[in-house]
């Protein structure tokens, strides 16, 4: 989704994945096309719907907890590829999990 920059809060200019705690990797990520996500990271519901598995800490199972980098970057789901840094959704997730000091 493209959000006009004029609708974003002024703090969006300081937004970067490098000063984030992989906040968007706490969202439910539906797998809607085959990008090669390894089976052990896929959670299936009773209807066959597939999402990225999340661990008890809330983050996606494919996230490296130390580096906060995606361990399956080349095979990440389509939704992860489309999620835009500094978009409304990105800022919303950051607001939930990052302190104002880090957020800038
Ligand atoms: S896209 Fe946004 S929420 Fe996701 S890691 Fe980057 S800055 Fe954080
Ligand atoms: S697949 Fe990678 S980019 Fe997508 S939510 Fe999981 S760790 Fe984040």
Q: Is the C-beta atom of 29 inside 6 A of ligand 2?
A: yes
Q: Is 25 helix (H, G, I), strand (E, B) or coil?
A: helix
Quote the CA–CA distance of 89 and 77 in Å, as a whole number: 17
**Collapsing DSSP states into helix, strand and coil, what is residue 100?**
helix
What pLDDT score was predicted for residue 98? 75
Query: Would you state the pLDDT for residue 7?
Result: 44
Q: Does 63 contact ligand 2 (Cβ within 6 A)?
A: yes
DSSP letter, residue 97 = H
Average pLDDT of the residues of the chain: 88
Band of residue 102 on the pLDDT scale cut at 50, 70, 90: low
State the distance from the centre of ligand 1 to the C-alpha of 46, rounded, in angstroms. Answer: 30
Q: How many angstroms separate the CA atoms of 67 and 7, rounded? A: 31
64-91 residue pLDDT tens: 999 999 999 999 999 999 999 999 999 9
Tens digit of each residue's pLDDT (9 = 90 or more) over 6-53: 444 445 678 999 999 999 999 999 999 999 999 999 999 999 999 999
Q: Provide the β-strand partners of residue 70.
A: 63
User: 53: CA distance to ligand 1 center in Å?
Assistant: 19
- pLDDT above 80 (res 3): no
For residues 41 and 51, what is the distance between their CA atoms, to the nearest angstrom? 9
- Look at ligand 1, atom 7, and give the residue with the nearest C-alpha: 17
The set of residues, in sequence order, having a beta carbon less than 8 Å from that of 53 and lying 6+ positions away, is: 40, 41, 42, 43, 60, 61
d(CA 87, CA 79): 14
Closest residue by Cα to atom 2, ligand 2, is: 70
């Amino acid at each position: 989704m493209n959000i006009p920059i004029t609708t974003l809060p002024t703090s969006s200019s300081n937004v970067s994945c490098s000063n984030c705690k992989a906040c968007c990797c706490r969202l439910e990520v539906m797998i809607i096309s085959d990008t090669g996500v390894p089976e052990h990271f896929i959670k299936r519901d009773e209807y066959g719907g597939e999402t990225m598995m999340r661990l008890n800490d809330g983050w996606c199972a494919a996230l490296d907890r130390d580096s906060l980098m995606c361990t399956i970057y080349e095979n990440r789901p389509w939704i992860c590829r489309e999620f835009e840094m500094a978009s409304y959704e990105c800022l919303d997730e950051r607001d939930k999990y990052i302190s104002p000091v880090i957020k800038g």
